[in-house]
Structure 1
Amino acid sequence: MTLYLDTETTGLKYPNDDLVEVALIDEDGQRLLDTLCRPSEHCMLRGWATAQSIHGIGPDQVADAPPSDEVRLEVERLVQGQELVIYNARFDLGFFSSPLPANDVNCAMLAAQRFFDWYKWPKLVEAAEWIGYDWDIEGIPPHRAAGDALATRAVWQYMFVRE
């Protein structure tokens, strides 16, 4: 089965930054995991204003969420032996302390770069726009983990699953 992963973070580089939201959906668009998570204590103490301005998730929203390390373990359990697709896989995988136990990990951003053949490192919102993806159908805006995972699924299926 193909699974689609997306994360929202406090910044750009683990372990200085950490996870604040993780979503994992299956090939049918069902959410296997869609949760906020509480980042490490040093992130909670200093906050993440720049990242918050993008995804809208602040320290107050994650204070009672499960710890990011628990969410990482759940992701590892769910992706075990599956095919995994991530938009900008290098970034998201950098927030996991060890390689995820998926059978195969694919970067949808690099695939989109090859597929559309005219744009280097396209942003997910751009690739989604190119295929006519409607963010409003799912009711989850860009830059939230579930919304981005669903958009990644749509882009991937457009490129590789069309009949």
Structure 2
Amino acid sequence: MTLYLDTETTGLRPPHDDLVEVALIDARGERLIDEVCRPAERWMRSGWPEAQGIHGIAPEHVADARPADAVRADVADLVAGEDLVIYNARFDLGFFESQLPIASAHCAMLAAERFFAWYKWPKLIEAAGWIGYDWDAAGNPPHRAAGDALAARAVWQHMCAHGWPGGPHVARPGA
């Protein structure tokens, strides 16, 4: 089965930064995981104002949430042996310290770059626009994990329905 993963984080430097939200969506669009999580304590003391300005998740929103490591463990259990599609896979996989026991990882961003053949490293919001994805109708805003995972699913399924062979695989961070 193909699963779709997205994360929201304290910043752009995995594994230095940490998770603040994770969504895992199945091929039908059902949410297997959709939750905020509490990053490492050092982040709770310092905050993450730049990232917060993008996704809107503040320290007070995650103060009572489960620890990021617990959510990572749940993701690992659910993705075992499955195919995983992630928009900017190398980035998101970098926030999972141990290798996820997946069958394969596909980067929807690199696929969109090749499929649409006119734009290098397209942002998810751009690729979603190219296929006519309606964020409002989907009911999930961009820059939140569930919204982005659902949009990545729509982009991936569009490309596959129009002849994309389902790649490329991505190497794990550090590989």
TM-score, normalised by the number of residues in structure 2 = 0.91
| Equivalenced residues, count | 163
Aligned to 1:71: 71
**Corresponding letter in the other structure for 2:138:** E
**Do the aligned partners of 1:5 and 1:149 also contact (CA within 8 Å) in 2?**
yes
Deviation per residue, 1:7-55 (Å, 9 max, x gap): 0000011332100000000000000000000000011111000000000
**Do the aligned partners of 1:16 and 1:43 also contact (CA within 8 Å) in 2?**
no
Aligned to 2:172: none
* Alpha-carbon distance between aligned partners in 1 of 2:118 and 2:162, rounded to the nearest angstrom: 21
Aligned to 2:167: none
Residue 37 (structure 1) aligned with residue 37 (structure 2): yes
Question: Deviation of residue 105 (structure 1)?
Answer: 0.5
* Alpha-carbon distance between aligned partners in 1 of 2:91 and 2:14, rounded to the nearest angstrom: 10
**Do the aligned partners of 1:37 and 1:71 also contact (CA within 8 Å) in 2?**
yes
Aligned to 2:126: 126
* Alpha-carbon distance between aligned partners in 2 of 1:155 and 1:79, rounded to the nearest angstrom: 20
**Do the aligned partners of 2:80 and 2:100 also contact (CA within 8 Å) in 1?**
yes
Query: In angstroms, what is the RMSD of aligned CA positions?
Result: 1.0
Aligned to 2:80: 80
Q: How does 1:2-151 map to 2 (within 5 A)?
A: 2-151=2-151
Identify unmatched segments of 5+ residues in structure 2: 164-175
Query: Post-superposition, which runs of at least 4 consecutive aligned residues in structure 1 deviate over 6 A?
Result: none
Name the CA shift for 1:15/1:105 in 2 (closer, same or farther; >3 Å): closer
* Alpha-carbon distance between aligned partners in 1 of 2:92 and 2:86, rounded to the nearest angstrom: 7
Question: Deviation of residue 108 (structure 1)?
Answer: 0.1
TM-score, normalised by the number of residues in structure 1 = 0.98
* Alpha-carbon distance between aligned partners in 1 of 2:130 and 2:19, rounded to the nearest angstrom: 28
* Alpha-carbon distance between aligned partners in 1 of 2:137 and 2:108, rounded to the nearest angstrom: 21
Question: Deviation of residue 161 (structure 1)?
Answer: 3.1
Deviation per residue, 1:103-126 (Å, 9 max, x gap): 010000000000000100000000
**Do the aligned partners of 2:14 and 2:91 also contact (CA within 8 Å) in 1?**
no
**Corresponding letter in the other structure for 2:52:** Q
Deviation per residue, 1:85-107 (Å, 9 max, x gap): 00000000010102211101000
- Percent sequence identity is 69
